[in-house]
Structure 1
Amino acid sequence: MWWRGGKRNLGLVSGTEKAMQGVADTLREFWAHRPVRPRAGRKLGGVATGIALRYQIDPVIVRIAFVALALSGGVGLPMYLAGWLLLPEEGDQVSPLEALVNKGHSSVSQGQTVLLGVLLFPALAFTFGSGGFQVFVTIAASVACIYLLQKNRGHLQPAATLAEPPLTPPVPGAPAWDPLGAAPFAWDLPEPAPKPQPPAPRPRKPRVAGVTLGVATLVVAASAIAGAWVPWFTVAHVIGLVIAVLAAGLLVGSFTGGGRSLIWLLVPLSVVGFGMTAVDFDGRPSVGDLKVTPQNLSEVKEKYELGVGSVMIDLRQLPDSGSVKTAVESELGDMTVHVAKNADVTFHCEASSIGDLDCLGRTADGGNVQVEGVDLGGDGEGGLKIDLDVRANVGEVRVLRD
């Protein structure tokens, strides 16, 4: 039986290799026939318009996609700048970046190219510095969308803008139905009336918008029912689910036609959703950095919370005696707690989704990991007692004694 299993395994490996090779071939084909940034009809650098013309989809949908990516961890800005650098302009031989290394001519000057490259670095730093794990998911989803566009619409080309000239000019004075103009007795006869053509049937648009709105309504109803038992279904999370459904409807509509009306619901919902994630209802920011250095025990809060960003709690300025208990929680980002050398620390560190833990020498990394213990410091038992509970959904957790 071992050889049969070996054959099955060999077939599985071969199938995986073929699939990966197909993906690589599609991406290479995308690069070989990449979009061209037009000079007319663009709003900024022509990246969105060029993609829309290349794959014959609505330019508004592509622009909305870039805006949504910009709100999703800032990914849209470096992606747009990269497209500006890597996609050639209409009439140019190569892209601005390729022209910078002398691979051909580009109408974009070297100074503009260098400026775009300089702007790309802070955009990338901001994106990867504040987005965390979400950035990699968004980039992977963007690459998957590019792959699907090339796979399903790569054979399409932009529609021709110039009409074809007639093959032979008509002979002056000859009726159109006498192609040779060789019947003089018929030159004064009236032209025959054209045959009436039946009206062309109106194309039936796919009901993308209606189906998408129906699915979104079901999601809201199911979330309202599930919210009675599952605390996760908050207003912000339900809005996020609806935004995901509308975005999926726009993606399907870009392939099949229709669905453009969903934009008028997606844009305001995206603004509301971004606002709800940026500021909690109690007025505390949930996106940014949190740095706290309490000087006495009464200044230490029972809980420090942040949605997305970095957290630094410095407890080294506290007195050498007494006791304090605090919790630190974050959805996404790096968390660091500093404690004094001689403090007695009881700690529990956890990353509920994926993270990297290093709490007073005890380490763990991966998905759903936690460490806990008691560390009495360099002088043994005695001194300030600290009870720490540090939890992150995704990110890096550190409890350091320095």
Structure 2
Amino acid sequence: MSGTEKALQGVADTLREFWAHRPVRPRAGRKLGGVATGIALRYQIDPVIVRIAFVALALSGGVGLPMYLAGWLLLPEEGDAVSPLEALVNKGSSSMSQGQTVLLGVLMFPALAFTFGSGGFQVVVTIAASVACIYLLQKNRGHLAPAATLPETPASPVTPPVPGAPAWDPLGAAPFAWDLPEPAPRPQPPAPRPRKPRVGAVTLGVTLLVVAASAIAGAWVPWFTVPHVVGLALAVVAAGLLVGSFVGGGRALIWLLIPLSVAGFGLTTVGFDGPPNLGNVEATPKTLADVKDRYELGVGSVTLDLRELPDSGSVKTALESDLGELVVRVPQNADVTFECEASSIGELDCLGRKADGSSVRVDGTDLGSDGEGGLKIDLDVHTSVGNVRVFRD
């Protein structure tokens, strides 16, 4: 067997060992399904770190949501012989009802659709990194017993003293004439405080170095954009938290991970090609020539009122934003052809056709209350994140 085959065999054995001794979801101390608490108890790490990891994964393309649901379905609850999913296929009994198990399974489909619809390669890399973290946990801490099930050390039996004997002579070996006063206890020197590993300080220093080096490299290498630099900083902080979960310390990094995760989510979801254009745009053109070819905005709302246009002729325009609300009012009798889209996530309501969720789109033609004829309007309304409304009133 070659070295590569041995390495793959070792990885497979570790993952099989993880499944055989997988975490158990406790009934006490959990916030939702007990997945994060069960993992923390199994590997004796801080539950807050595991919860923050799930939140960070949820903000990184939505991976955390299906992973949490998978843990809920595949990890048994405290006191159960099998997991809810195994109980559903008659491999044992679980305290979760079959209806709840089916509901969690149904929720898995929109969670996976949102996750893989938000970014293919990035999602695959995130899932691979999560599996690697599970492998490292099992490899380095799989031998530890769950903190909730560690047996207590039995106390040593104490021989009862002979009645009348002093405490320093519980066997009563000395004559009572030797009943000396109790010896004064010697003062014990204070125990030295253990030094915690300086994981947080080291991680913060490495993060600042990475950001500074990326800013300098950005003058020559176009790849070092703001979203990429935030992603590099997020990776360094996440690595510091992972190291801290093994050696202790680094919990304060959570307060750095949260804003970086939110910033990374915003920068990857909303595509800014330059300085963001912020504010609100309202336009009420009165002639066909007044209608612009395009109304663009970075963050904010665009309201276009076309009800004062003449009753004949044709006009075509587009509305586009990165984050915000796009609203178009059209005349009652106009013939409207429309395409409405939210490329990342949003809610659409375009002349009665509705959709909401991740990467949604509706299109069609609405001839108004008088049927075909009159003013013709062609609309292309697109947002990355936000709401789109096209209506008559």
Bucket of the pairwise TM-score, normalised by the shorter protein? 0.5 to 0.7
Residue deviations 1:220-264, cap 9 Å, x none?
A: 211221222222222222222111111111111111111111111
Work out the CA distance in 1 between the residues paired with 2:245 and 2:7.
25
Partner of 1:109: 97
Q: Which of 139, 154, 160 is the aligned partner of 1:171?
A: 160
> 1:88: how far off?
1.3
Partner of 1:133: 121
Partner of 1:197: 188
Say whether 1:232 aligns with 2:220.
Answer: no
Work out the CA distance in 1 between the residues paired with 2:298 and 2:34.
35
Work out the CA distance in 1 between the residues paired with 2:186 and 2:268.
64
> Where in structure 2 are the equivalents of 1:316-335 lying within 5 Å?
none
Q: Contact 1:75–1:139 (CA<8 Å) still a contact in 2?
A: yes
Q: Which of 66, 71, 87 is the aligned partner of 2:54?
A: 66
> 1:111: how far off?
2.0
Partner of 2:353: none
Q: Contact 1:30–1:150 (CA<8 Å) still a contact in 2?
A: yes
Work out the CA distance in 1 between the residues paired with 2:232 and 2:318.
36
Residue deviations 1:278-330, cap 9 Å, x none?
A: 333246679xxxxxxxxx998699xx9999xxxxxxxxxxxxxxxxxxxxxx9
**AA in 1 matched with 2:23:** P
Q: Which of 116, 121, 143 is the aligned partner of 1:155?
A: 143
Distance 1:229 1:156, change over 3 A: same
Q: Contact 2:60–2:261 (CA<8 Å) still a contact in 1?
A: no
> 1:55: how far off?
1.0
Work out the CA distance in 1 between the residues paired with 2:180 and 2:78.
50
> Where in structure 2 are the equivalents of 1:179-218 lying within 5 Å?
180=171, 185=176, 192-218=183-209
> 1:83: how far off?
0.5
3-state SS, counterpart of residue 91 of structure 1: coil
> Where in structure 2 are the equivalents of 1:182-331 lying within 5 Å?
185=176, 192-279=183-270, 280=272, 281-282=276-277
Distance 1:155 1:161, change over 3 A: closer
Q: Which structure 1 residue ranges, 4+ long, deviate > 3 Å from structure 2?
A: 159-170, 172-198, 282-286, 296-301, 304-307
**AA in 2 matched with 1:85:** L
3-state SS, counterpart of residue 2 of structure 2: helix
Work out the CA distance in 2 between the residues paired with 1:270 and 1:277.
11
> Where in structure 2 are the equivalents of 1:77-88 lying within 5 Å?
77-88=65-76
Q: Contact 1:127–1:135 (CA<8 Å) still a contact in 2?
A: yes
Distance 1:198 1:82, change over 3 A: same
Distance 1:299 1:88, change over 3 A: same
Distance 1:265 1:177, change over 3 A: same
> 1:186: how far off?
8.7
Q: Contact 1:100–1:113 (CA<8 Å) still a contact in 2?
A: yes
Q: Contact 2:27–2:78 (CA<8 Å) still a contact in 1?
A: yes
> 1:44: how far off?
0.7
Q: Contact 2:84–2:94 (CA<8 Å) still a contact in 1?
A: yes
Say whether 1:119 aligns with 2:107.
Answer: yes
Q: Unaligned regions of 5+ residues in structure 2, if any?
A: 279-296, 300-313, 324-342, 345-357, 360-393
**AA in 1 matched with 2:268:** T
Q: Contact 1:208–1:249 (CA<8 Å) still a contact in 2?
A: yes
Say whether 1:90 aligns with 2:96.
Answer: no
What is the number of residues matched between the two proteins?
292
**AA in 1 matched with 2:191:** A
Work out the CA distance in 2 between the residues paired with 1:274 and 1:258.
26
**AA in 2 matched with 1:92:** D
Q: Unaligned regions of 5+ residues in structure 1, if any?
A: 1-12, 287-295, 308-329, 335-402
Work out the CA distance in 2 between the residues paired with 1:300 and 1:220.
38
> Where in structure 2 are the equivalents of 1:310-389 lying within 5 Å?
none
Q: Contact 1:278–1:285 (CA<8 Å) still a contact in 2?
A: no
> 1:192: how far off?
4.6
TM-score normalised by the chain length of structure 1: 0.64
Work out the CA distance in 2 between the residues paired with 1:46 and 1:199.
39
Distance 1:223 1:105, change over 3 A: same
> 1:96: how far off?
1.4
Work out the CA distance in 2 between the residues paired with 1:246 and 1:157.
28
> 1:46: how far off?
0.8
3-state SS, counterpart of residue 99 of structure 1: helix
Distance 1:165 1:190, change over 3 A: farther
Distance 1:176 1:140, change over 3 A: farther
Q: Which of 4, 15, 19 is the aligned partner of 1:27?
A: 15
Partner of 2:307: none
Work out the CA distance in 2 between the residues paired with 1:75 and 1:285.
27
> 1:120: how far off?
1.4
